[in-house]
């Protein structure tokens, strides 16, 4: 792993475990186990470090997807994929998720932080819209809005309130609410 990667991983760990106040050059050097001054060699200012961390988190999030997922084959497969994503980012990737939310809050008043984070959101949102269109949703834009809102709510619920909150049922309900029910032949 390169020194730069070590620094960025340590910065994400600090953000995810100790919050924004912990993101200093000295603390990142210590957490990364690199010589004093290494972080400032890569990121001269705190703003540059923050931007580097935001870009790193976005890069790591896209890498975790393993490339763009293919279109869903059916509603159950899509719901399972979405629920599995929420499960993963609230368990195995919990620290990175907390760091991402710390960065989103910082981005409310710092456009340089907000911009790269929103790029990842746009990518995921487009995937959900396309998936819902493929599954027959008459309004995939509204469906994507509802699905991402429920997903975000489930993430916050699991991160801040109830780490064991059930994920599948709420996501299943919101996805199915936007898919027209096909009437059986007997009902015709």
CA distances from 136 to 9, 70, 188 (A): 41, 16, 20
Q: Are 74 and 134 in a shared domain?
A: yes
Task: Note the pLDDT tens digit of each residue in 29-52.
Answer: 999 999 999 999 999 999 899 989
CATH of the domain at 5: 1.10.10.60
Counted domains in the chain: 2
What's the pLDDT at 67?
64
Q: Is the residue at 182 inside a domain?
A: no
Q: What is the pTM of this model?
A: 0.84
15 assigned to some structural domain: yes
Structural domain of 122 = 51-177
* Cα separation, 14 vs 28, whole angstroms: 7
Judge if 97 and 165 occupy the same domain.
yes
Query: Are 67 and 33 in a shared domain?
Result: no
Question: At a CB cut-off of 8 Å and minimum separation 6, what does 130 contact?
Answer: 71, 140
Q: Choose among 100, 118, 30: nearest CA to 60.
A: 100
What is residue 185's predicted lDDT score, i.e. its pLDDT? 44
Is residue 60 within 8 Å of 96, Cβ to Cβ? yes
Distance CA 159, CA 140 (A): 28
Same structural domain, 81 and 153: yes
- What count of Cα atoms within 13 Å lies in the side-chain half-sphere of residue 98? 18
Same domain, 36 and 64: no
- Convert the pLDDT of each residue in 8-36 to its tens digit: 999 999 999 999 999 999 999 999 999 99
Residue whose entry in the numeric block shows the structure tokens 């603390």: 27
For residues 89 and 127, state if they share a domain.
yes
* Average pLDDT for 156-181: 96
User: Any residues with CB less than 8 A from the CB of 157 and at least 6 apart, and which?
Assistant: 165
If you count them, how many residues does the chain have? 188
């Amino acid at each position: 792993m390169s020194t730069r990667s070590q620094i960025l991983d340590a910065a994400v760990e600090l953000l995810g475990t100790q919050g924004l106040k912990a993101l200093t050059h000295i603390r990142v050097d210590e957490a990364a186990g690199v010589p004093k001054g290494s972080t400032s060699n890569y990121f001269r200012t705190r703003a540059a470090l923050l931007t580097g961390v935001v870009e790193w988190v976005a890069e790591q999030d896209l890498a975790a997807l393993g490339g763009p997922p293919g279109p869903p084959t059916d509603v159950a497969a899509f719901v399972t994929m979405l629920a599995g994503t929420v499960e993963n980012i609230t368990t195995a990737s919990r620290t990175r998720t907390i760091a991402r939310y710390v960065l989103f809050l910082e981005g409310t008043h710092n456009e340089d932080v907000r911009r790269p984070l929103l790029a990842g959101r746009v990518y995921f949102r487009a995937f959900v819209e396309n998936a819902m269109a493929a599954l027959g949703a008459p309004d995939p834009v509204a469906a994507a809005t509802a699905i991402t809102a429920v997903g975000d709510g489930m993430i916050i619920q699991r991160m801040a309130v109830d780490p064991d909150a059930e994920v599948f049922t709420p996501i299943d309900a919101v996805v199915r609410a936007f898919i027209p029910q096909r009437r059986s032949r007997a009902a015709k």
